[in-house]
Amino acid sequence: MTLTGMILKMSEGLGRTCAIFFLTLLFSLPLGLVVALLRMSKNRVVQAVTKVYISILRGTPLMLQLIAVAYGPFYLFGYTLLVKQKLLAIIIAFALNYAAYFAEIYRGGIESMPVGQYEAAHVLGYSKGQTFMRIILPQVVKRILPSVTNEVITLVKDTSMAFTLAYMEMFSIGKQIANSQSSFMPFVIAGGFYYLMNSVVAFAMSRCEKALGYYR
Amino acid sequence: MKKLLSIALVMLFVLAGCACAEGFTFKMGIDAEYPPYSYLDDNGEYAGFDVEMCQKVCDILGWNLEIVPINWDTKDIQLDAEEIDCIWSGLTVYANGITEDRFTISTPYSDNSQMILTKKGTGIESFDDLAGKTVGVQMGTSAEAALTGDGEAAALGATFGTLQPYENYNIAFTDLQAGAIDAIAVDAPVANDKINKYGDDYYCLDESFASEKYGICFRKADTELCAQVEGAYMQLVEDGTYLALGEKYELDTSFLVLAAK
């Protein structure tokens, strides 16, 4: 297989790689915020349950979580949808996993806000919801952006985990070519693709940071 | 937000949806990293002895063929969950959990030997020379099972210095080239494939340390499906396609047991 042939074949999987990437972000970013708020809840039970969720999702490999989501329901209840709809299983596993990481980043950001701001908002007559949405959250977003960028870049590379479920994204195709053609070239190509995608992510995120740097 | 969500859901269904054609679609589960039985060819299409035989079987039966690359570690679950209708990819039957009490297994279509692949300069000429050496093997293969199990080959495995497990034979072979290991324990066809590609510096020892059979594995309940595939397969044996494809993919034709009958 020629070099161009390998690149072309692997780029057929890029759409799927991007689907995993964007759908995971779409679902895990809001879910992370919900988890962060539950984690900071005054209700002890809610707090404890969320803590367990975060510790399990962060404490076990994503590869195992993928297998658990796709095949767990089948073994327990004979439910085959997640085996047949691989992308659905992948997005559920990725979104749950990344939400746990994002939750802790959100929490760090929210807890870093000085109490004085809540007091000032209260004096000015803001409700709790208004205080959070209009005063706290915009500042949090600004503060946590660099940590979020880290996670997003990791996510680009983690999409390769989908090979565990034999989902034919770019890296899985690369692996097939590598072993069929006895060549390591596909891995070099995969590295190039990931680097390219992450350059775009890094650029976009730095533009976001600049746009949000309105007090400097 | 709602708009984004609906776009996301549509994408999910489009990407995950199956291409439903008319008539019965036979879903063949393959390890797409297993030349010469099933692999990606130079044109980026699935090819190999098993893939082409299956295509011809489907042609005879008037079925559509869908080739589904699977993760070899979870192949039995994928079969049970009806993601695929069979595992057909140089699969060793009557061993490693692929047994008749759990699955319906076709008549084996090929014998296979487990060989020791090594290179010139290591001085390895027989099994005795392997004592204390480092031997590579792919995890989860029958070669590994034979050398670590409790059969005859395990005694040979015990004489090795180290049995080094690898994720795939591609990496194991590179380590052999680089001299990091002394030999590889591997299926004969895979060894021949490497020798064809890399030339005379590599050779197999004459004796094999275990032998096995390749067959097609179906769900336990699918005896009817198995019988249909076997029937069409035998037609291909009789009209010579079986041997011709064996030669095309450079298999050792003495292993193609059905032809001898």
Nearest to residue A106, comparing CAs of A62, A49, A147?
A147
Please state, in angstroms and rounded to a whole number, the distance separating the CA atoms of residues A17 and A162: 9
Is residue A187 pLDDT above 50, yes or no? yes
Would you say residue A178 lies in a domain? Answer: no
Give the residue-averaged pLDDT of A168-182. Answer: 89
**Which CATH superfamily does the domain covering B23-109+215-260 fall into?**
Periplasmic binding protein-like II (3.40.190.10)
C-alpha B177/C-alpha B41 separation (Å) is 24
Listed range (B16-20, B63-67, B243-247) with the worst mean pLDDT: B16-20
Domain that holds residue A107: 13-167
Measured between CB atoms, which of A27, A83, A176 is closest to B40?
A: A176
The DSSP secondary-structure symbol of B88 reads: -
B9 near A CB under 8 A: no
Residue A184 domain flag: no
Instruction: Count structural domains, chain A.
Output: 1
Q: Which residues are registered as beta bridge partners of B162?
A: B134
Judged by CB atoms closer than 8 Å, whether chains meet at A180 and B40 is answered as yes
Residue A6 lies in a domain: no
The reported pLDDT for the residue numbered B20 is 44
* Residue A194 placed within a domain: no
pLDDT at B89 > cutoff 90: yes
Residue A204 covered by a domain: no
Q: Is the pLDDT of residue B8 over 80?
A: no
B132's tokens? 């204390």
Does the bond joining A30 to the residue before it have cis omega, within 30 degrees of 0?
Answer: no
**CATH number for the domain harbouring residue A132:** 1.10.3720.10
pLDDT score recorded for residue B18: 43
Average pLDDT of chain B, as a whole number: 88
* pLDDT higher than 50, residue A52: yes
| CATH fold for domain B113-212 | D-Maltodextrin-Binding Protein; domain 2 (3.40.190)
Beta-carbon count within 10 A of B233 CB: 22
Does residue A94 form part of some domain?
yes
What pLDDT does B259 receive? 83
Q: Is residue A210 part of a domain?
A: no
Q: Which residues of B touch A175 (CB under 8 A)?
A: 33
* B44·A5 Cβ contact <8 A: yes
Share of chain B above pLDDT 70, in %: 91
Find where tokens 């001085």 sit. B123
B221 phi and psi, to 5 degrees? -75, -15
The answer, for A64 touching chain B at a CB cutoff of 8 Å, is no
Q: How confident is the model at residue B17 (pLDDT cuts 50, 70, 90)?
A: very low
B168 to chain A, any CB pair closer than 8 A? The answer is yes
Residue A54: pLDDT band by 50, 70, 90 thresholds?
very high
Q: How many CB atoms lie within 10 A of CB A179?
A: 22
Place B21 in a pLDDT band, splitting at 50, 70 and 90. Answer: very low
Is the Cβ of B7 closer than 8 Å to some Cβ of chain A? no
| pTM (whole model) above 0.95 | no
Instruction: Convert the pLDDT of each residue in B165-221 to its tens digit.
Output: 988 888 899 899 989 999 999 988 888 888 888 888 899 998 899 988 999 999 999
Examine the pLDDT at B13 and tell me if it is beyond 90: no
Provide ipTM, 2 decimals. 0.78
Domain range summary for chain B, segments of one domain joined by + = 23-109+215-260, 113-212
What local confidence, expressed as pLDDT, does residue B96 receive?
81
- Report, as an integer, the average pLDDT of B59-81: 93
**Mean pLDDT throughout A153-157?**
96
Highest-scoring range by mean pLDDT, A25-29, A72-76, A136-140, B201-205? A25-29
For residue A99, being part of any structural domain is answered with yes
User: CB distance from B221 to chain A under 8 Å?
Assistant: no
- HEC string of A38-71 equals HHCCCCHHHHHHHHHHHHHHHHCCHHHHHHHHHH
Q: Is the pLDDT of residue B139 over 90?
A: no
User: In 3D, which of B38, B29, B26, B49 has the Cα closest to residue B242?
Assistant: B49
Q: Span B36-64, mean pLDDT?
A: 94
For B26-40, what is each residue's pLDDT tens digit? Answer: 999 999 988 889 999
Same CATH topology for B23-109+215-260 and B113-212: the answer is yes
